[in-house]
Chain A
Amino acid sequence: QVQLQESGPGLMKPSQTLSLTCAVSGDSITSGDYYWNWIRQPAGQGLEWIGRIHTSGGINYSPSLKSRVTISRDTSKNQFSLNLTSVTAADTAVYYCAREGPSHPGDYFPWGQGTLVTVSS
């Protein structure tokens, strides 16, 4: 059973760099034909796709965040990460990681439980 677990700082100040990690158990992030995604949701608002990394290492980013986002992975720890630079209050959100499976485009499953990141001075 694949499980994803996000971890992050919780509270940040504006202009800092957000670093989040998604630890994966029950599957290898380098096996198969999967995409490992980051998705966020500000409180009371909709979902926003941030980007993804493929098992091959290929990476895609949302054009709206591309200038500030880096997705990477640590295969030795079986986890992937999100870095978001120059955060503002608008980056306050619950951040989710999720797997997208082969032949299931747009099917994000499973999801992590989400981690709340608050940006405040």
Chain B
Amino acid sequence: QTVVTQEPSFSVSPGGTVTLTCGLSSGSVSTKNYPSWYQQTPGQAPRTLIYNTYTRSSGVPDRFSASILGNKAALTITGAQADDESDYYCVLYLGRGIWLFGGGTKVAVL
């Protein structure tokens, strides 16, 4: 059974940079998986940050960027701010109409 892997947690200093990754237990992540990234704060529905690997969703600050790093998708927060403290999820397309979320990364800004 395929699993989408994410780091459980990360800590970043205000103004610092952090890179979260999103991998596949069964192989490499590529643009064909259309990796997308979501930010979620407690009690709220998730918010799209990035879709289709690189595309920043409307209204998302440019301190959020995405890439393919090696065999994983990556989300980089550059110049972290206090309100970036959230849970971050990636979702990957596995083919045949099937999507799978990662377990999420909790990011603390401190």
B interface residues, how many (CB within 8 angstroms) = 26
Apart from A46-B102, A62-B98, A106-B36, what are 5 other A-B pairs with CB-CB below 8 Å? A46-B104, A47-B38, A49-B98, A108-B46, A111-B45
Interface residues on A, range: 20 to 34
Which residues of chain B come closer than 8 Å to A113, judged between CB atoms? 45
Total CB contacts across the A-B interface at under 8 A: 66
For the residues of A in contact with B, the DSSP-based class is loop
Which residues of chain A come closer than 8 Å to B55, judged between CB atoms? 104
Complex alpha-carbon distance, A60 and B97, angstroms: 6
Chain A CB count within 10 A is highest, among B99, B102, B104, for B99
Q: With A106-B91, A106-B99 in contact, do A96 and B45 touch (Cβ < 8 Å)?
A: yes
Complex alpha-carbon distance, A64 and B100, angstroms: 10
Complex alpha-carbon distance, A39 and B104, angstroms: 14
